[in-house]
A and B are shown apart, each in its own frame.
Chain A
């Protein structure tokens, strides 16, 4: 067999999850910022800026789940079984906020505030538990004979909860810089002011997670701090730090720049996590090759993925292009 389909699938799933994190990240972030923008007009604008695209953004999450089941069914079974409660809570968060998009526009003015709350709470739940899922995943899942061997609360750990907290400023910053790009006047000014402390907060969290992860997980420390890896990987934290400083400088005047810079920071952070875990699909010990579906499954799905993903990226980009520029209330909910 010449082609390592497991490897290609791992890259596709990582790519899908990265796109999910940055795309749904900014629209979850807009939800997180909702309480800070109490005026109805501002909230309408914030909602309208993501209304045409949130659904496509969330589809990357479904691709992640489906791709995992197709390429690594063992990992799909173990991870979702082990993380049952955080996954459930994330899904409930996504339901609350997903329905709020349409329902808020259709609610009477007396009951609209309930959907505002559902939108914020749902975004917060989804964000926090995505971070928890990530943290618990990094920490590793107990497996015996190919089946999850822990209990319903095995995922609870200070590290996982901390990861849950750190995703909040990350998504909020994606949201605030997205809104800098999409809004004008007072809302834009407010988002610029908000972004500053969010950047500092995010830098703090990145630093702590970057220290805590290798300290708590020996194999990850070995991956980063052994020679020659240290030299190869050193640019990653350096670039991340530079990007954060660059973002701090441009957040006062840039239009699209701050958002692009935040995307770069998120991608670098994601890359760092990917390197830490590679090549495990169920940390700490089951690799992508051990959890692999039969080649007949991976190969069949791969043909479709390689042919269709470029097409998806093209029409998704077209949709963003159609709704480019500052948000226009004409496009919003009627």
Chain B
């Protein structure tokens, strides 16, 4: 494969997978949110929960559809773009993907029909069961695909025979060294992204003067979620980073823009700003806090970790891309933490629904979860380069023999179709959000008990 065609294949895969991951991330978060909303409604019969369920399930349905069709592309792209990878390692990634289809995709698809269209036909209990099954399916799906991706980052439980990977220990393959960290980090990211989207929707309505019980409930639930998950995510990210340092030190060196260690005892600074340069083997314009990277990564003032110059030049990732995508993720993560704390503080003082500065901030932070999630994936995937399977197979050896013109044709076609179809789909999604929950939803069956604990919030 020529270099241009290889680069086009990578761009195409990066484009389609980045587009795709947005939808399942929201699917994972919204499915669990919907299960909680329906559970609350069944328990309290507070119509607000039913209104919110109906509202978010419409958005969920559209988002889910886009996730499915953009995902079918992924299941085939491993073969169309990366046949040598599939030939070499399909014996491992294939069974993991098969288990994902069997235990997750079918579960989601099988119960989705009942969840979206079957409430009247099956009644409350079975419908709730269907919602829970869909939510469970999204989490199971995340588990398998992250096992597969993590195996590519930190391969384990295999041997290589005749230039093929042969699985020797499936438990070691699935529970490979980076898997638990990546799974927790990704699921939290999905929950955070969804909470931020819900909070921004509520903030938008409140800023517009659409102040209803359902909108308020949305905001408090989202802020509650945020204040719990944002700190947890920082903790998860920290231990994930330590794990990466142990198994993929070149990635961490690129994340920190760290090229070489100074004299013993000086420690490694945490760079806030800079432009890592692979050719010059240095980070230009570096502004950092002395010793902080040592403290974070080695838990000591003068600890050191390998710099990028200790790796062969053709085994280094593009440091500038990894450095900056990592900083975007961390920076947004800190802002999420601020929003959560500020929101809870305002809520306790009874100002959450009236503080326009806070509401504007929440609105602005709406896409930050997904942006941080994408930046995090860029960090980990670009940080793995030049390997497609870390230490085993280089990306340059994984591709096809398609010509540059074929790859240009397919990339242009995909960009146009994705832009039109998913662009319009996302526009509809935003329009649905802007319509807000329907207050006149038929809840005649419900016995309203407005005194349930979840309704008692100070400041309402």
Chain A residues close to B by CB (< 8 Å): 51-53, 55-56, 58-59, 61-63, 65-71, 73-74, 76-81, 84-85, 87-88, 91-92, 94-96, 98-99, 101-103, 106-107, 118, 146-148, 151-152, 293-294, 296-297, 300-301, 304-305, 308-309, 312, 315-316, 318-319, 322-323, 330-332, 334
Contacts and interface: CB of A to CB of B under 8 A. Distances in A.
A95 B76 CA distance: 13
A304 B113 CA distance: 24
Which size bracket describes the interface of B in this complex? 35 or more
Nearest to A78: B83
Nearest to B422: A99
A32 to B, nearest CB: 18
A332 B114 CA distance: 11
B97 interface: yes
Contacts of A77: 79, 83-84, 86-87, 90
A96 B424 CA distance: 11
Interface of B: 58, 61-62, 64-66, 68-73, 75-76, 78-80, 83-84, 86-87, 89-95, 97-103, 105-114, 116-118, 120-122, 164, 166-168, 170, 400-403, 405-406, 409-410, 413-414, 417-418, 421-422, 424-425, 428, 431-432
B94 A301 contact: yes
Contacts of A59: 101, 105-106, 109
B417 A293 contact: no
Contacts of B401: 81, 147-148
Contact of A55 (B73, B93, B103, B109): B109
Given A52-B116, A301-B95, A304-B98, 4 more contacts: A69-B98, A74-B87, A88-B413, A294-B164
A148 B410 CA distance: 19
A322 B417 contact: no
- The B interface, classified by DSSP as helix, strand, loop or mixed, is helix
A65 B73 contact: no
Contacts of B402: 81, 84, 152
Nearest 7 interchain pairs by C-beta? A73-B90, A80-B79, A52-B113, A70-B94, A69-B94, A98-B69, A77-B83
Contacts of A319: 110-111, 113-114
20 contacts: A53-B113, A58-B109, A62-B105, A66-B98, A66-B100, A70-B94, A70-B97, A73-B86, A73-B91, A80-B80, A84-B410, A88-B413, A95-B69, A95-B72, A99-B65, A103-B424, A148-B400, A152-B403, A152-B406, A294-B167
Nearest to A118: B421
A152 to B, nearest CB: 4
Nearest to A298: B95
A182 to B, nearest CB: 14
Contacts of A315: 106-107, 110-111
Nearest to A9: B98
A80 B79 CA distance: 5
Nearest to A149: B401
B113 A95 contact: no
A304 B90 contact: no
Nearest to B399: A81
A73 B117 CA distance: 38
A312 B110 contact: yes
B102 A331 contact: no
A108 to B, nearest CB: 9
B26 to A, nearest CB: 14
Contacts of B432: 106
Contacts of A96: 417, 421
Nearest to A77: B83
A56 B108 CA distance: 8
Contact of A300 (B75, B109, B118, B170): B170
Given A63-B98, A98-B68, A297-B91, A308 B110 contact: no
A56 B137 CA distance: 13
A56 B64 CA distance: 13
Contacts of B424: 99, 103
Contacts of A323: 113, 117-118, 121
Nearest to A82: B83
